Structures are given as structure tokens and as C-alpha cells.
Amino acid sequence: MTPHSVTLDLAGRTALVTGAASGIGRACALRLAASGATVRAVDRDTEGLEKLVSGAPADARLEAVTLDLTDLDGAERVAEGCDVLVNNAGLQVVRPLQEFPTDAFHTILTVMLEAPFRLIRGALPGMYQRGWGRVVNISSVHGLRASAYKAAYVAAKHGLEGLSKTTALEGAAHGVTANCVCPAYVRTPLVERQIADQSRVHGIPEDRVVSEVMLADSALKRLVEPEEVAEAVAYLCTGPAGAITGTSLPLDGGWTAH
């Protein structure tokens, strides 16, 4: 467990985290709750949300909301009244372009780009009214660089980078910042689930996928921990980070230094 290195007081604030039942979203929900925020934890996985709430410290204010983010009107409504919005929910499909399932492409773009747009749309009026807000978009190194066989994911993340910058430009006059956090491979179920697919498309055994595919472009030869991503998110929510907007913060072990 990465210790908290950021001093953050969000008492009286409401933070919404999508995809909060697992991985990075779970770490962000717990981190923001530890700062005193009331956290609206949104996911389609009810069981995962129950585990998040039951495993959290007793004083954590966590409100679990089961919602499938392909329900775009629901996504916009659930964001009303939040002060911090962490757009995190995501999924991955690894296939060559000519075989890429068209329905999967559509779902990935809906959940990872159109839903964030609708969540931001729902959140901004309240943030503007209160003159303060933080939008943190969990992008990826794949928002900045492409990899083969990830057409939908790379397209969605590059789109999210643009949405984030536009939010920054419009929000600045209202005390709202918007930034992307761009991790390389993080130790989460999303990564564990793609090892078999990566092994197939790259034609190598599963036990070589992490070192030969996932860490190939990273100078740092280890996975990122979800708590490290959550700490970067926490920093972007602080007062002293108020001048940081429209940026992308890579936690990529040097991948984009190439």
C-alpha cells in the first residue's frame, strides 16, 4: 500500500468516481474518502461496490451507485452536484483492426468517451455555481501513444485527452480544472484479463506477456500500483494544483520519454 504523500482536505465536498468497484477507481474512491469527501462510487458491478463499502474504513463516506454507463442520461444525472469528478471506468478489447468486433468498438467509445462527456456535462453547472471543481480523467499512456491491436481503446483515450483540454479551457474562468492522468500498465484486473489476448495476438506464451509486451516500452520494469495513480489524482484535487489544467500527467515509467 502506497502511503499518502499528498495533504488533501475535501471535507464538505462530494467526489464522484466511475468504475469504483475495482482497480484504479477503487483506489481513487478510498483515497478521496480518506480526505474527508463524500464519495459517490459508481459502477455497474453491484457486488464489487458492496465489497468496496464493506472493506472501507468505518468513517469513510461512500455512496454506492449501481449504474451501467452506457445509460448516458443516467450518467449525466448521477454527476449533478459533485465537486470532484474522476472519469475512470473503462474496458479493453485486444484484436487486429480487421477482426475488431464492431459492437465492442461502439461500447468502448460509449463508456470511455461519450459517458465522460455526459458526466462532465452533468457536473459543470454545479461546479460553476460554487466556483470550484476538479475533473480528473483517467486516460492512459494510450491517450498519448498508440499500440497495435487496441484500436477502440487508443481512439477513446485520445478523444478523452481532447475532451479534457476543452473542459480545462471552458472551466478556467469558473475555478474548475481538468486534467488527464496517464498511467502505463497498472496492476489491476483489467491488465490480468488481457494477458491471454495479448499472448494470442503477439504469438508468445502468457508468462512472457508482462515483460515482453507490457513493459517493453517502459524504462521502469515494473507495473504501476493503483494507489500510485490515486495519489496523483489526489494531488490534482489540492489547492496548490489549481494552476495545473489542460495537462496530461504520465505515470508511465518513462514510456513517453522515447
Q: Which residues are part of the catalytic machinery? A: 153
Output 69 or 241, the one with its CB closest to ligand NAD: 69
Q: What are phi and psi of 83, to 5 degrees?
A: -95, -30
How far is the C-alpha of 229 from the C-alpha of 232, rounded, in Å?
5
How far is the C-alpha of 189 from the C-alpha of 22, rounded, in Å?
8
91 binds ligand NAD (CB under 6 A): yes
Question: Smallest gap, in angstroms, from Cβ of residue 228 to ligand NAD?
Answer: 11
Candidate segments 44-52, 78-86, 161-169, 238-246, binder of ligand NAD by CB under 6 A: 44-52
177 bridge partner residues? 134
- Please work out the total of residues on this chain that contact ligand NAD, with binding judged by CB under 6 A: 27
Q: Residues 122 to 161: which contact ligand NAD by CB under 6 A?
A: 138, 140
How far is the C-alpha of 57 from the C-alpha of 72, rounded, in Å?
31
Candidate segments 4-12, 33-41, 55-63, 84-92, binder of ligand NAD by CB under 6 A: 84-92
Q: Residues 53 to 82: which contact ligand NAD by CB under 6 A?
A: 68-70
Q: Which helix (H) or strand (E) holds 39?
A: strand 38-43
Among residues 13, 15, 17, 22, the one that binds ligand NAD under rule CB under 6 A:
22
Percent of the chain as helix, strand, coil, to the nearest 5? 50, 15, 35
Q: Residues 219 to 258: which contact ligand NAD by CB under 6 A?
A: none
Distances (CA, A) of 57 to 66, 97, 104, 210: 21, 44, 37, 33
Given the rule CB under 6 A, which residues bind ligand NAD?
Answer: 19, 21-25, 43-45, 48, 68-70, 88-91, 111, 138, 140, 183, 185-186, 188-191
